[in-house]
């Protein structure tokens, strides 16, 4: 059965509540493609200051009964590319999103996370728990946010959903903090039957209210062919810039937006997409993600965009080859311990002063 957007509604996964307001069948969102974070809040001397901001956006619970939607807690260093974003919106309120590290000063996330981001805006890497105040967690101020110029928040089809955040000072790479491996040709990876999703987003509902997690959670889900995705979501981009994945009782939820979906190949994790949208109906979102699988922005379609807006500090690589990082020691896949070699070049350097955005991309920039 084809899915009607009017019937199903959509959540854009940027917060514990739906980011898309539906009034008279129309989505209401502000539009601004390149947002300067004016007067970013200072790096917190006390981690409690950061946690206060986070808790404005996140509904915590002390004893989570289930994780991610059928998932489990991640081990430290298991998903070292994962980042956590907490920010204030121009619409009001605080929101959370996921992201993945492109370089030591840039991360990729969803466009619906960046397009209305204002200060205070923070990114955290290296920790699998939001409350963790150990040395593993690295917190930085986001200084600029770039949204794909082709992303239209008023477009009900939700396409071109990708953005970049720039932060300062640069983070330090270690076994718990590494750069994402993203390839220009993902055709081999898309033949995989399964993929791994991760995030700090919703793992259950209380009535119609979402409950998000203080722990980094992950689940293994089924990766579907484009034809099946299109049969579920008629609005998908015919250029196949989107993919979908989910399993019965397993999948992403509100708050996971912008976070990675990754495939394991030869002991390495390769990111093939980032979380974009899914069902707003709790029953479908929590239990029926095999029938109504969430949609992810396909990153191989945006290599030039990521290279440009990371100021050249990132480039897409190849499966088993260089690019997309240079982080020490790959994770060895979600089922294995940290270890193995990192990818070559294409990241790791500072991303510039953060004072001015890069020039607009050329016309053919995806």
Which pLDDT tens digit goes with each residue over 214-236? 788 898 999 999 999 999 888 89
- The domain total for the chain is 1
Domain span including residue 116: 72-310
Tell me whether residue 109 is in a domain. Answer: yes
The pair of structure tokens assigned to 89 is 């919106």
Q: Looking at the domain assignment, is residue 366 inside a domain? A: no
d(CA 107, CA 101): 4
Structure tokens at 75: 């081990």
Q: What is the pLDDT of residue 74?
A: 87
Residue 119 lies in a domain: yes
Confidence of residue 277 (pLDDT cuts 50, 70, 90): confident
H helices, E strands: number in the chain? 6, 19
- The C-alpha angle with vertex 200 and arms to 124 and 80, in degrees rounded to 5, equals 50
pLDDT band at residue 280, thresholds of 50, 70 and 90? low
CATH number at residue 240: 2.40.10.120
In-domain check, residue 363 = no
Rounded to the nearest 5 degrees, what angle is found at the Cα of 340, between the Cα atoms of 305 and 296?
35
Greatest pairwise CA separation for the chain in angstroms: 53
pLDDT surpassing 90 at residue 70 = no
Residue 128: pLDDT over 80: yes
Please give the Cα distance from 107 to 84 (Å, whole number): 10
User: 92 exposed, middle or buried (CB, 10 Å; 0-12, 13-18, 19+)?
Assistant: exposed
Q: Domain for residue 292, yes or no?
A: yes
Alpha-carbon distances, residue 42 vs 131, 139, 168 (angstroms): 19, 11, 10
Asked whether residue 126 is assigned to any structural domain, the reply reads: yes
What is the 8-class DSSP label of residue 126? Answer: S
Tokens 């690589």, residue located: 317
Residue 273 has pLDDT above 70, yes or no: yes
> Which tokens in the block code for residue 295?
């949609």
- Specify if 50 maps to a domain: no
Q: Does residue 98 carry a pLDDT above 50?
A: yes
Strand stretches in 182-323, DSSP E: 194-199, 202-206, 209-212, 217-222, 242-244, 260-265, 268-279, 295-298
Assess if residue 359 is contained within a domain.
Answer: no
Measured in degrees and rounded to the nearest 5, phi and psi for residue 167 equal -135, 165
Evaluated on CA atoms 95, 333, 300, 144, the torsion sign reads: positive
Mean pLDDT over residues 308-325, rounded?
Answer: 86
Pairing of strands 72-73, 217-222: antiparallel
pLDDT band at 134 (very low <50, low <70, confident <90, very high): low
Residue of 153, 155, 161, 165 lying closest to 118 (CA atoms) = 165
């Amino acid at each position: 059965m084809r899915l009607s957007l009017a019937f199903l509604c959509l959540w854009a996964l940027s917060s514990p509540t739906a980011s898309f307001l539906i009034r008279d069948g129309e989505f209401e969102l502000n539009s601004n493609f390149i947002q300067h974070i004016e007067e970013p809040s200072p790096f917190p001397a006390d981690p409690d200051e950061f946690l206060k901001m986070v808790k404005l956006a996140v509904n915590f619970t002390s004893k989570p009964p289930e994780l991610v939607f059928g998932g489990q807690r991640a081990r430290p260093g298991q998903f070292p590319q994962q980042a956590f974003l907490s920010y204030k919106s121009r619409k009001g309120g605080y929101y959370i999103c996921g992201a993945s590290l492109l370089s030591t000063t840039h991360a990729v996330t969803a466009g619906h996370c960046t397009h209305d981001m204002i200060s205070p805006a923070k990114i955290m890497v290296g920790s699998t728990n939001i409350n963790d105040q150990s040395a593993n967690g690295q917190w930085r101020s986001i200084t600029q946010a770039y949204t794909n110029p082709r992303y239209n928040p008023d477009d009900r089809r939700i396409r071109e959903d990708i953005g970049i955040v720039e932060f300062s000072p640069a983070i330090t790479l270690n076994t718990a903090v590494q750069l994402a491996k993203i390839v220009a040709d993902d055709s081999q990876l898309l033949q995989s039957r399964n993929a791994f999703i991760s995030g700090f987003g919703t793992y259950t509902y209380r009535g119609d209210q979402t409950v998000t997690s203080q722990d980094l959670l992950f689940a293994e889900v089924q990766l579907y062919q484009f034809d099946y995705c299109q049969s579920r979501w008629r609005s998908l981009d015919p250029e196949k810039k989107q993919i979908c994945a989910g399993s019965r009782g397993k999948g992403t939820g509100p708050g996971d937006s912008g976070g990675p979906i990754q495939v394991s190949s030869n002991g390495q994790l390769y990111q093939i997409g980032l979380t974009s949208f899914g069902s707003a109906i709790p029953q479908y979102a929590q239990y029926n993600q095999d029938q109504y699988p969430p949609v992810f922005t396909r990153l191989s379609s945006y290599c030039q965009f990521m290279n440009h807006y990371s100021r050249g500090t990132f480039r897409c690589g190849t499966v088993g080859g260089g690019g997309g990082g240079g982080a020490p020691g790959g994770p060895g896949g979600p089922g294995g311990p940290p270890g193995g070699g990192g990818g070559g070049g294409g990241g790791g350097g500072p991303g510039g002063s953060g004072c001015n955005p890069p020039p607009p991309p050329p016309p053919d920039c995806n």
